[in-house]
Structure 1
Amino acid sequence: MSTPQLPAGAEARLTFTVSDDDTAAAVGSGDLAVLGTPRLLAWCEAATCAAIADHLDAASTSVGTRVALEHRAASPVGAVVDVHATLVHVDGRLARFSVAAEHRVGDGPPVLVGTGEVTRVVVDAERFLARLG
């Protein structure tokens, strides 16, 4: 695996609809029927993966190493959540992303759901798994 050439500014937008399976009650992070923080984080990480997927060779993948996420607003079941990730810093195999999520309910205006930063490191998938022994 050679050091990837990840372009700063690479981005991805993913859209999700909050279902009963995505709620805090379902994922074990509370007891309310609103988007659970662990699911919001998973969606943010999915967007970071999508932002660099086309820039990795077939033997490479990326693994999350650091997350800072502020979950700012509750999203009800049925809300459409747009997650945006932008690659803001590259240092060799390290990639740091800015992430943001907004939701829409019906025809209402977008509501900022969460913001944060996700750091990932590009690894050779086979070598990474082999070290787990």
Structure 2
Amino acid sequence: MSTRPTPSELVFVVGEDDTAVALGSGSLPVLATPRLLAWLEAATCAALEPVVGEGRTSVGTRVTLEHSAASPVGVQVVVGADPVHSDGRLHRFRVTGRHTDGKVVATGEVTRVVVDVDRFLGRL
């Protein structure tokens, strides 16, 4: 098992269920910011796969996100997570979202912490 996360890239297609109107975060049929954030977090989780061992997972602890362009239904969105800082259990990623033509639709940063699943759930 590696101790360093790796860059990650995932591709999603904007569907009707991914829109602001469907998620209640706006009234337009374009990619909703909450869905975009979920996709970006999925990329950070994928980047952490080499780090997270048996019985462990990661939890998001901080997000900064600028959603700068609209994505209509049917458009492919490529989301990426690039590790910029690792310190023990804490991992920070630069995240980006773009259309396949290269148009940037989002930039930001996501911080995640690796936790023991049983210990974490035992505190609830």
Q: Give your verdict on TM over 0.5.
A: yes
Q: Give distance in 2, aligned partners of 1:79 and 1:59.
A: 36
1:60 is matched by which residue type in structure 2? R
> Taking structure 1 as the reference length, what is the TM-score of the superposition?
0.89
Gaps of 5+ in 2: none
Identity score, percent: 59
Q: Which residue of 2 aligns with 1:100?
A: 96
Q: Give distance in 2, aligned partners of 1:40 and 1:85.
A: 13
| Cα distance, 1:77 vs structure 2 | 0.1
The C-alpha deviation readout for 1:20-64, integer Å capped at 9, x for no partner, is: 000000111101000000000000000000001122111110000
The C-alpha deviation readout for 1:68-100, integer Å capped at 9, x for no partner, is: 000010000000000010111011110000000
**Contact 2:31–2:70, Cα closer than 8 Å, also in 1:** yes
Secondary structure of residue in 2 paired with 1:54? coil
When structure 1 is superposed on structure 2, of 60-69 and 47-56 the one drifting more is 47-56
Q: What does residue range 45-124 of structure 1 map to in structure 2 within 5 Å?
A: 45-104=41-100, 109-124=101-116
| Cα distance, 1:110 vs structure 2 | 2.1
Q: Given the alignment, which residue of 3, 6, 9 partners 2:3?
A: 6
Q: Give distance in 2, aligned partners of 1:55 and 1:130.
A: 22
Cα RMSD, aligned residues only:
1.3
> Taking structure 2 as the reference length, what is the TM-score of the superposition?
0.95
Q: Which residue of 2 aligns with 1:41?
A: 37
- What is the count of residue pairs matched by the alignment? 124
Report which of the two structures shows the higher radius of gyration computed on alpha carbons: 1
Structure 1 stretches of 4+ moved >6 Å:
none
Secondary structure of residue in 2 paired with 1:55? coil
2:37 is matched by which residue type in structure 1? L
Gaps of 5+ in 1: none
Q: Give distance in 2, aligned partners of 1:122 and 1:53.
A: 11
